């Protein structure tokens, strides 16, 4: 296995998942404690490594096929786990629906990218600027939903809800953009 700084950052994101789960459970048992805050901050730190690992891989010339595979897997794992945890604590329709939309889109777009790669056209559905903006909004929203507590009088959980709903809307829009880009190639396969 190749070990370089970008891959170590990606592995740290994966290792953060069980820690976030433990902190989340601790926060559920003691809502007034700092475990929720720690879970939100850990998720935010992991989200930062998501941007950092790809940048460093390109900047340092350390791109690898393992990194290209592992990075999106780590992203999808940590976001999916966090959304499932959040929906388990707050099963209101707005939270559950946002979680289902985001997770469902990730599965659909991953499958679309895999299929397009088999057709030799993966670049047609490569990550776009819209997808990157969606990821930023989603990561901040989920971080705030995990953080839960007000900060400087600002309702972090409510702000997290708004951002996560916005991320779900951006998620759907970006999925349609990817599908539209892939449609000519998908029609050829009939």
The domain that holds 158 is classified in CATH as: 1.20.120.1760
pLDDT band at 149 (very low <50, low <70, confident <90, very high): very high
* Cβ contact 42:20 at 8 Å: yes
| Residue 176 lies in domain | 5-188
How many domains, in total, are found in the chain?
Answer: 1
Note the pTM of the prediction, 2 decimals. Answer: 0.91
Stronger pLDDT, 143 or 116, i.e. the higher one: 143
CA distances from 174 to 108, 132, 134 (A): 12, 10, 8
Residue 105 has pLDDT above 80, yes or no: yes
Q: For residue 1, name the pLDDT band (cuts at 50, 70, 90).
A: low
93: pLDDT strictly greater than 60: yes
pLDDT at 127 over 80: no
Query: If you ran DSSP here, which 8-state letter would residue 31 be given?
Result: T
92 φ/ψ sector (left φ>0, alpha ψ -120 to 50, else beta): beta
């Amino acid at each position: 296995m190749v070990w370089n700084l970008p891959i170590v950052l990606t592995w740290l994101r994966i290792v953060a998942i069980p820690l976030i789960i433990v902190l989340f459970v601790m926060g559920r048992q003691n809502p007034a404690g700092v475990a929720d805050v720690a879970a939100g901050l850990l998720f935010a730190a992991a989200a930062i490594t998501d941007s950092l690992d790809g940048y460093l891989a390109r900047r340092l010339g350390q791109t690898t096929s393992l990194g290209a595979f592992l990075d999106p897997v780590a992203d999808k794992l940590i976001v999916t786990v966090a959304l499932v945890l959040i929906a388990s604590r707050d099963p209101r329709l707005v939270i559950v629906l946002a979680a289902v939309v985001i997770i469902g889109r990730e599965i659909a777009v991953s499958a679309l990218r895999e299929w397009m790669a088999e057709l030799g056209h993966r670049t047609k559905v490569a990550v776009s600027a819209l997808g990157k903006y969606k990821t930023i909004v989603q990561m901040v929203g989920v971080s705030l939903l995990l953080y839960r507590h007000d900060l400087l009088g600002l309702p972090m959980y409510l702000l997290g809800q708004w951002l996560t709903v916005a991320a779900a809307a951006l998620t759907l829009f970006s999925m349609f953009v990817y599908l539209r880009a892939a449609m000519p190639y998908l029609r050829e396969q009939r």
